[in-house]
Each structure stands twice: as structure tokens, then as C-alpha cells.
Chains A and B, each alone.
With several copies, the nearest count.
Chain A
């Protein structure tokens, strides 16, 4: 990553935990990448990229080169992203059909995807599409993004609304894909999935190691050196 982008991110106002988390996740995007951002928190990541950052945003409903989201009075009724937001184009955007869109994903042309999660296991298994008996809207494009993007990172709250850990030894919910997750960004920490399990990589400002351990449902490898703070 060029120092330029780092400097920019340093100037981003980090007014709250989620903003800090999405700003940190934005540094995951390397110039030249093709990136798909899932609905919700991941979509916010793009707000932290400078206007001349060289990246191609992909949406699975058939667009490469997503531009800014537009208010209703400026929206094009035929131009949405996969989450239904009215987006725009950039110079060099291209439209295509749904088969071609997933051809990009499955054939390895997607460098990075950022997704939400219900659960992530310490082996990198992801569950994010179904809670039996409660929530089963269908998997959409999630399986292919999770299984085939070259790098899959997760943006999620560290625990669910009831305070239960989302990071666990094993997922209990139906899986989206096995062993797909490389890294997890939460409001508390940046955690890598390693062959030995979860490894703490960075910690949020004002959060203690004990708090992270408490909120994590699996053992956590902690480096001997000082943890970077984001």
C-alpha cells in the first residue's frame, strides 16, 4: 500500500467504534484490487477510500465500477447494487448479466470480499445466511463470494445482540463455506484465522486484551510484542 493512502486514513475522523473499524478495514484494500463489499457494514468501507484510489468495486447483480450511492431524487431506477441501494457509475464502468458476474467470482477475478457474519470458526468456517426456524431468506450470492474470492474478510460486531460470541471453536449454524475466512474486523479487534486458530493482530483504542478474550468464544493467540492499536 502506498504511504499516500495510509496518510489519508490517518486523517479520517474516527468518531465511533464502527467508523474506526470500517476505516481500519479499508486499509485491507490494496491499489488495483477488484473488491465486492457485502450489505451493511462492508458497504461503509468505501467511504474511507480517497477519490483517486485505484480500485474496481464489483456488485453481483452485474456491474464493475460502482460509483457513489445517490439520493432518491438523483437515482437511476435501473441502477442498483446487490443490496438494493441506488448507486452510480464511474468512468469505465461496465454492465453484464448475472452469469458473467458470478463467472468473475468463481474464476478467481475477485481479489477481496468483505462480508458480514453470524458465526466464524477458528478454522475460518463462515455462517452468515441462515438461522434455522428464525431467519432463512436464502443464500443469494454469499456462498460463491465466500468460497471463491481470493481473500475473504469479515466485518462484524464481536458478539451478537445477546452478547454471545460470534467467534467460536465451531460454527453451530448452517455453513456458508468452510475454511474461507482470512481475517475478521470487529469493533474490538483485528483477528487473523491461522492454521493454529484465531490470532489477535490489532486491538481497538480503549479496549483491553481481557475484554477481547472475554468476548471471544475460542482461544486467542496473542503475540509477545506490543499489539498495534487502531
Chain B
């Protein structure tokens, strides 16, 4: 046996994303945000999207391009503090925003990726984040039902990949990427380098290729991935 090859052209796989799709996007700030996949999604123009992403990047970067291009209807996120433009869209009801506690967003995505229906957590009880959520008692204590999240697509940024779709991440560019790479029907990974099968050490792989549907190697790394000058 040999492992199947999932290398693909980035343009072709992004073309599968249609209007109305739900899309998970990796990244926490710049690190781990799949800037090139996002730019291609802007170019191809699918609309009425639901994005699931930790943050909305900063004005003029990453998913903010999708927001500016009017492609986003709904955003499930944890914090928009670095993107005043996104906050403006939210305050003007031009996008709907659902805020989650950050670790709960991570757990909900992981639950989707793990094929479980929900997790029960007491995080946020007594705050407005608990409003409208089903409550279940465990050991006599109230817990919120935090339902699993899955998406039609996940856009992932990896440092290295192999043709089967095994992925490794570097430093804090890992963040939500390995979780989202488990939780979508179609997982598309951009990788800074795609190495031949066998070059990634089996113990060091962060995401097994079993979770990944398509992997595309980036050519030049654009300036959007660079250190942000403030």
C-alpha cells in the first residue's frame, strides 16, 4: 500500500466553495491565518458566507478582505478587538456576529471534529454568554450545552505538509488550525512547503492527512504573512 496523493491547485479547490457556505478559517492574528486561500476566495467571490474564526484579523488583512468585499453574512468568533472595521459592520448590522468564549469555541470545533454532539461546560454561567443556552445538570451542578460546530470547508495554514495531507505547524501559528482541520467536510490546507511522503517524522505530525482533503503548496510567501509593523 501507499498513501493517496491529495496535492491540488489552490484555485481549483477554492472554486468548490459556493454561496452560503460555512467556512472555518485558522489563525490567531496573523500567525496561522491562510492568507493565500482567503485572497483566492476573495478573487472567486462566493457570497453569503458564514465564517468561523477566532478573530477578524486587522483592517486590510486576512478575513477583513472578505468583510470588505461583502462576502460575509455571519461571523462566529471570540474577539474583534484589533479590527475596528469589523466592529463597525457588526454595530451597523451589516454582519451578524456570535461571540463565544475562546476556549469554548475551540471545544465546540473540536467536538465537531471528534464526532460528538456537544460538550457540557460551566464557563460563562451567570454572564450574558449563557443566555439562550440549554442547561443540563452534571453531578448536581448546572452546565451549558455547547453544541458541536462543523463547517462545509476549513481553510488551514500549515508550515509543512506531505502529499497525503499530513501537516505540521510552527510556533503560535498552530492555534485553531489542527481543530478546524478535523471539523469540516472539506479541509483545504495551504502549506509553505510540501515535502515528499516520509519526510515528516511520524511522531511530529500535528494533523494526520486522514483529516485533510486537499493540500496546496504556496509559492512565494506574501507580505501579509510578515511581521506587522505597528
CB distance from B65 to the nearest CB of A (A): 19
User: Are A97 and B2 also in contact (CB < 8 A) when A108-B115, A138-B99, A148-B115 are?
Assistant: no
A95 touches B205 (CB 8 A): yes
CB distance from A45 to the nearest CB of B (A): 11
A75 touches B227 (CB 8 A): yes
B138 in contact (CB, < 8 A): no
A139 touches B182 (CB 8 A): no
A77 touches B225 (CB 8 A): yes
Which single residue of chain A is at the shortest CB-CB distance from B122?
A: A147
Within 8 A of A (CB), among B182-219: 182-183, 196-198, 200, 202-203, 205, 208-211
B106 in contact (CB, < 8 A): yes
CB distance from A187 to the nearest CB of B (A): 24
How far, in whole Å, are A81 and B105 apart by their CA atoms in the complex? 18
CB distance from B169 to the nearest CB of A (A): 8
Contacts of B177 in A (CB 8 A): 97
Contacts of A104 in B (CB 8 A): 208, 210-211
Contacts of A106 in B (CB 8 A): 103, 114-116, 121, 123
Which single residue of chain A is at the shortest CB-CB distance from B176?
A: A98
B182 touches A77 (CB 8 A): no
Q: How many residues of B contact A (CB 8 A)?
A: 77
Interface of B is mostly: loop
Q: Which of A83-91, A155-163, A193-201 contacts B (4 or more CB under 8 A)?
A: A83-91
CB distance from B152 to the nearest CB of A (A): 14
> Which one of A94, A140, A177 lies within 8 Å of B208 (CB-CB)?
A94
Contacts of B178 in A (CB 8 A): 97
B174 touches A97 (CB 8 A): yes
B202 touches A98 (CB 8 A): no
B205 touches A107 (CB 8 A): no
Which single residue of chain A is at the shortest CB-CB distance from B212?
A: A109
Within 8 A of A (CB), among B156-174: 159, 162-164, 166, 169-174
B172 touches A90 (CB 8 A): no
Q: Which of B8-16, B41-49, B125-133 contacts A (4 or more CB under 8 A)?
A: B125-133
Which single residue of chain A is at the shortest CB-CB distance from B87?
A: A137
User: Are A144 and B123 also in contact (CB < 8 A) when A52-B2, A78-B171 are?
Assistant: yes
B112 touches A98 (CB 8 A): no
How far, in whole Å, are A61 and B226 apart by their CA atoms in the complex? 18
Which single residue of chain B is at the shortest CB-CB distance from A56?
A: B3
Which single residue of chain B is at the shortest CB-CB distance from A91?
A: B198
How far, in whole Å, are A100 and B170 apart by their CA atoms in the complex? 16
How far, in whole Å, are A92 and B105 apart by their CA atoms in the complex? 28
> Which one of B28, B211, B225 lies within 8 Å of A98 (CB-CB)?
B28
A90 touches B3 (CB 8 A): yes
CB distance from B54 to the nearest CB of A (A): 7
Contacts of B169 in A (CB 8 A): 95
B31 in contact (CB, < 8 A): yes
CB distance from B49 to the nearest CB of A (A): 19
User: Are A95 and B202 also in contact (CB < 8 A) when A137-B79, A137-B87 are?
Assistant: yes
A138 touches B205 (CB 8 A): no
How far, in whole Å, are A51 and B112 apart by their CA atoms in the complex? 35
CB distance from A35 to the nearest CB of B (A): 9
> Which one of B31, B97, B182 lies within 8 Å of A80 (CB-CB)?
B31
A92 touches B102 (CB 8 A): no
Contacts of A52 in B (CB 8 A): 2
Contacts of B200 in A (CB 8 A): 92, 94
Contacts of B172 in A (CB 8 A): 59, 61-63, 78-81, 95
A79 touches B176 (CB 8 A): no
A19 in contact (CB, < 8 A): no
Contacts of A139 in B (CB 8 A): 78-79, 99, 101-102, 129
Question: Chain B interface (Cβ within 8 Å of chain A)?
Answer: 1-5, 28-32, 54, 77-82, 87, 90, 97, 99, 101-107, 109-110, 112-116, 121-124, 126-129, 159, 162-164, 166, 169-179, 182-183, 196-198, 200, 202-203, 205, 208-211, 225-229
A-B pairs, 5 with minimum CB distance: A102-B103, A106-B115, A91-B198, A140-B79, A137-B81
Given contacts A84-B29, A86-B227, A91-B197, 9 further A-B contacts (CB under 8 A): A61-B28, A61-B31, A61-B172, A89-B202, A95-B174, A96-B174, A107-B113, A107-B114, A143-B101
